[in-house]
Chain A
Amino acid sequence: MAWTVAARRNEITEGKPKITVVNGKEIGVFHEGGAYYAVLNYCPHFGAPVCLGKVMGRIIASGPDSLDYDNDHKTLRCPWHHWEFDLATGAALAPIRQRLKTYPVAVEGDNILVDI
């Protein structure tokens, strides 16, 4: 693991991650809801470029008759089969083990660093 500059702040806007190769790994660096995230560009389902998917909130429910929308926790959905993953932790929203690989992110001045 090593902290490496992966992007400049002005390269990323909401909905437009930067796809880049850092230390041999293709990752997406996201800026969503005021926070930065870094994710390996590989879906554990069938290997699709997951970072080309969409970031959105998530529909939640405390029971079958009480739906709500959580826009605080960002969800990354794969462009192929639309599986949902938590952008911060990489965990799938469905109760399964497969998850995205995520990396710690830090901001220093105009640089966004990723620990890969």
Chain B
Amino acid sequence: MIIDCDVHHNQRNKDDWLNYLREPYKSEVARYGLRQLASGIRYEEGGNRWDLVPPSGLSPGGDPDFVREQLLDRYGTRFALLSGYTGPVAGMPDPDYVHAVCQAFNDFSLDVWCRADERFKIGLQVPATQDPQLAAREIERLGEHPGVIAVCIAGTASRIPFGQRYYWPLYEAAERYNLPLHFHPSTTSVLAGLGTTPAGMANTYLEMHTCLPQFYMAYLASFIFEGVFERFPGLRVAFVEGGVTWLPHLLWRMDKEFKALRQQAPYLKRLPSEYIKDHVRLTTQPIEEPKKAEHLVQLFNMIDGDEVLMYASDYPHFDFDEPTALPRQLGETTLRRILHDNACAFFNLPAAPAGEAMK
């Protein structure tokens, strides 16, 4: 049994979901197309796997029937968290435009995908960086829908670190509706932030994609040191598509620094590393592939991976991980937790029916 924390659903045909867009943006987009913000780097074939064009001729990731067959049925997936794509909104200026685009995409996702199969769940798209109060309104609009299990935030496109009070109206709403935050890299649309890497504008997708965890390291430090988890004790945060092996370094460094510089975050009641189990999860994809699998197992142990990690496939993207990408040496119990149980609890999903065989 699998819970897949990152599946990218798409429109069925070009601009399909734009039928859900409200005016005046519907007319604007019909005439001029979606607003564009790009990184200027090459990425190949849209970043998708090449064996995923559905027989129906719809877009990769755009045919609910095909995704059901190729992903849910094939791998025994109980739930798939649909995270869409961040291109139309990540880093964009104009909160009203982004809010409207997010609303249209959310309505499309619930209407087309959640109706197609109850195993499809969505993370709400919201104008997180543009206007956290508008983002909170979107959570209030749809947060109780049974198809909604998270709030998606296009990471790597912020001007302000994510722990700061600017975002707290969004976090207050997410906590109130018991919806975890789902941070996902915004791939090519990161111009509005510091650059495609924290160091600036990379020349290649290769370099940009390699450096994604550096953003997450900065975000997690911001969440901890700004006291977000003291202010919002029910808030939970998942960092998606950043891999996992960066975490031990960050935890140890945060703890070491805090012991000397506690006065700069005096509201913390625990060591920084001790907030992780209650509030933070990482998804495994793209899982690091050291030459010796045992090294990965050792790193998992350093961060209590059986509690803080959750499986994600990133279907249909090129860096897709099958469930078998996780090293078998982790053992059956740990694998079951990472592949299913941890996400089941984190996203508050119904427990597996009693007696259902664990695979």
A34-64 interface (Cβ within 8 A of B):
46, 48-49, 52-54
In the bound complex, do residue B50 and residue A81 qualify as a contact, i.e. CB atoms below 8 Å apart?
no
A3 in the interface, Cβ–Cβ < 8 Å? no
A80 (CB) vs chain B CBs: closest residue: B49
In the bound complex, do residue A82 and residue B318 qualify as a contact, i.e. CB atoms below 8 Å apart?
yes
Question: CA–CA, A80 to B313, complex, Å?
Answer: 12
A104 in the interface, Cβ–Cβ < 8 Å? no
Segment from B12-20, B192-200, B320-328 that makes contact with A: B320-328
Q: Is the interface of B mostly helix, strand, loop or mixed?
A: loop
B65 in the interface, Cβ–Cβ < 8 Å? no
In the bound complex, do residue A52 and residue B324 qualify as a contact, i.e. CB atoms below 8 Å apart?
no
* Set of chain B residues within 8 Å of A53, measured between Cβ atoms: 50-51
B319 in the interface, Cβ–Cβ < 8 Å? yes
Q: Is the interface of A mostly helix, strand, loop or mixed?
A: loop
A15 in the interface, Cβ–Cβ < 8 Å? no
Q: How far does the Cβ of B66 sit from chain A's closest Cβ, in whole Å?
A: 15
Q: How far does the Cβ of B217 sit from chain A's closest Cβ, in whole Å?
A: 25
* Set of chain B residues within 8 Å of A77, measured between Cβ atoms: 50
A74-92 interface (Cβ within 8 A of B):
77, 79-82
Count: A-B pairs, CB below 8 Å: 25
Question: CA–CA, A80 to B50, complex, Å?
Answer: 7
* Set of chain B residues within 8 Å of A80, measured between Cβ atoms: 49-51, 318, 320
In the bound complex, do residue B44 and residue A82 qualify as a contact, i.e. CB atoms below 8 Å apart?
yes
Across the interface, A49 reaches (CB within 8 A) one of B44, B51, B319, B325, namely B51
Q: How large is the interface on A (under 10, 10 to 19, 20 to 34, 35 or more residues)?
A: 10 to 19
* Set of chain B residues within 8 Å of A82, measured between Cβ atoms: 44, 50, 318
Q: How far does the Cβ of A36 sit from chain B's closest Cβ, in whole Å?
A: 22
Q: How far does the Cβ of B48 sit from chain A's closest Cβ, in whole Å?
A: 9
B320 (CB) vs chain A CBs: closest residue: A80
In the bound complex, do residue B49 and residue A79 qualify as a contact, i.e. CB atoms below 8 Å apart?
yes
In the bound complex, do residue B51 and residue A52 qualify as a contact, i.e. CB atoms below 8 Å apart?
yes
In the bound complex, do residue B51 and residue A81 qualify as a contact, i.e. CB atoms below 8 Å apart?
no
In the bound complex, do residue B49 and residue A46 qualify as a contact, i.e. CB atoms below 8 Å apart?
no
* Set of chain B residues within 8 Å of A48, measured between Cβ atoms: 51
* Set of chain A residues within 8 Å of B50, measured between Cβ atoms: 52-54, 77, 79-80, 82
Question: CA–CA, A54 to B324, complex, Å?
Answer: 24
Q: How far does the Cβ of B50 sit from chain A's closest Cβ, in whole Å?
A: 4
A-B contact pairs, 15 of them (CB 8 A): A46-B322, A46-B324, A46-B325, A48-B51, A53-B50, A54-B50, A79-B50, A79-B51, A80-B49, A80-B50, A81-B319, A81-B320, A82-B44, A82-B50, A82-B318
Given contacts A79-B50, A80-B320, 16 further A-B contacts (CB under 8 A): A46-B325, A48-B51, A49-B51, A52-B50, A52-B51, A53-B50, A53-B51, A77-B50, A79-B49, A79-B51, A80-B49, A80-B50, A80-B318, A81-B318, A81-B319, A82-B318
